[in-house]
Amino acid sequence: MRALVQRVTEARVDIAGETVGRCGAGLMILVCAMRGDGEGNADDLAARVAKLRVFRDGEGRMNRALLDAGGSALVVSQFTLAADTSRGNRPGFSDAAPPEEGERLYERFVEALRGHGVPVETGRFGADMAVHLVNDGPVTIMMDR
């Protein structure tokens, strides 16, 4: 699985003008299941994200994880993270998991993150979404598992 993790002061996702998920200070996480991924990949990635130390401690260093900082997460499915641009100008997405598998692993990731005690809201798998966020730092990290 692949995730693009952004430290945010706030984020929300809208579908057809209606807000379906939001978070305050915390993490905006775009997630993509890759072909060949399984439940273990989702669980491992969720554990790594939950423990990712990107929040400032008392000395201003990135030394605290999401729960240490009292934050929450907004998780949105994003199959375009699987884009392959090595052969021209049009990205290919054949490395992404098939939609049914992608949705199952996306949901598994969300539940695994919640299992670590992280308050999580989500977008809607496969929907046309508008994501709004204020990146804090900016801090943006790509993670694979």
Q: What is the CATH number of the domain that holds 39?
A: 3.50.80.10
Is 145 contained in some domain? no
Cα 72 to Cα 123: distance, rounded to the nearest angstrom? 14
In sequence order, what are the residues at sequence separation of 6 or more whose Cβ sits closer than 8 angstroms to the Cβ of residue 124?
15, 20
Domain count, the chain: 1
Q: What is the pLDDT of residues 70-122, one digit of tens each?
A: 999 999 999 999 999 999 899 999 999 999 999 999 999 999 999 999 999 99
Q: Among all residues, which ones are annotated catalytic?
A: 78-80
Interaxial angle between packed helices 99-115 and 39-51, expressed in degrees from 0 to 180 and rounded to the nearest 10: 40
Would the pTM of this model clear 0.85, i.e. be above it? yes
Mean pLDDT taken over the chain: 97
Q: Give the range of the structural domain holding residue 36, as residue numbers without chain letter.
A: 2-134
Q: Is residue 144 part of a domain?
A: no
Whether 140 is in a domain gets the answer no
